Structure 1
């Protein structure tokens, strides 16, 4: 069983989100990590869109432009590690999803024009840490709930350590709450 870990922890080893992710992943059999801080992906521009469209029309699915999409679609589980930034997540994660979201790899359209997901994963786990409290503005996780539905991933789960930058808060206690959430996941 392959777990794809999409690491959007832009602070590297100093990231509290990354620490939580490592705890979640420690007992997984096969983990493939995509480190967005080192990947250096560029947002799609007109030239890239034209190139990808040409390859899609030609059904040239072995072209490297589709590698990230194939990797995502073939994973048994997807873990997104992303700190809570500006009501969602780091921009590198959105750029990554532009590369992953490919019609006829991650999803397709049926003859009656319905979008149907074709990813293999049975769940997507979203792990975050937050300086404050999310309080109904969890737009990063909500985005991935939509992506999971679009890609045919039936279950999404959310774990977060919140309030970590609030003066006087017990940071370790907040991290322990998140660790307890992780321990409760099957």
Structure 2
């Protein structure tokens, strides 16, 4: 049995190719691990607010010194971090937007990348505190970015691998549905991506 956290960042709902790919990954994980518990977080249905001054201040204060108002400001961050720490496997579904990640996913990351909770600073520098997790990135893109002339334009995967690694998550696998806006590729982009899933 595994605890699987599926984080979805596309605003297109069930029509989203990245979501369908992520759903296929979680489904195969559940088959491979009977009795698994799947928690789904749709960042467009229940988005995290972009960080603002009062929240940033509250996130930097030790929990035992927070006022009641500040506890409210950190509540969703606390809940998101708890979900990440409890999960054995995390599936992140997202489209590649303007060479990067959608803003709802960035807001979620800003709420889980938190000093003292998911990483720390010490005499030897930063240390990730989230260990033993496997992450699958289900990425959909209109063009082909895994290779060829547009490879250097993909800032989503390098960013995600960097920030996840900073928090201690280094076992990251990327599964791409590419060419979803390219004739001759779009017709089978999702099907080919699903065929590459190995969990």
Please state whether the residue corresponding to 1:82 is helix, strand or coil: strand
Are 1:38 and 2:38 matched, yes or no? no
Aligned position for 1:99: 111
SS at match of 1:26: helix
1:57–1:50: structure 2 CA closer, same or farther, 3 Å change rule? farther
Take 1:170 and 1:40, find their aligned partners in 2: how far apart are those partners? 32
Q: 1:117 aligns with which of 128, 133, 139?
A: 128
Alignment counterpart, residue 141 of structure 2, candidates 120, 125, 130: 130
Structure 1: gaps (5+ residues)? none
How far has the Cα of 1:106 moved from its partner? 0.9
Q: Are 1:152 and 2:174 matched, yes or no? A: no
Query: How many angstroms apart in 1 are the aligned matches of 2:129 and 2:117?
Result: 7
Q: Please name the residue that 1:177 is paired with.
A: 192
In the TM superposition, residue 55 of structure 1 has moved relative to its aligned partner by 4.3
Q: Which SS does the other structure have where 1:37 is aligned?
A: coil
Separation in structure 1 between the aligned mates of residue 91 and residue 162 of structure 2, nearest angstrom:
15
Unaligned ranges ≥5, structure 2: 31-35
What's the secondary structure of 1:124's corresponding residue? strand
Query: C-alpha distance in 1, partners of 2:128/2:63?
Result: 17
Alignment RMSD, CA only?
2.2
Distance 1:121 1:99 in 2: 20
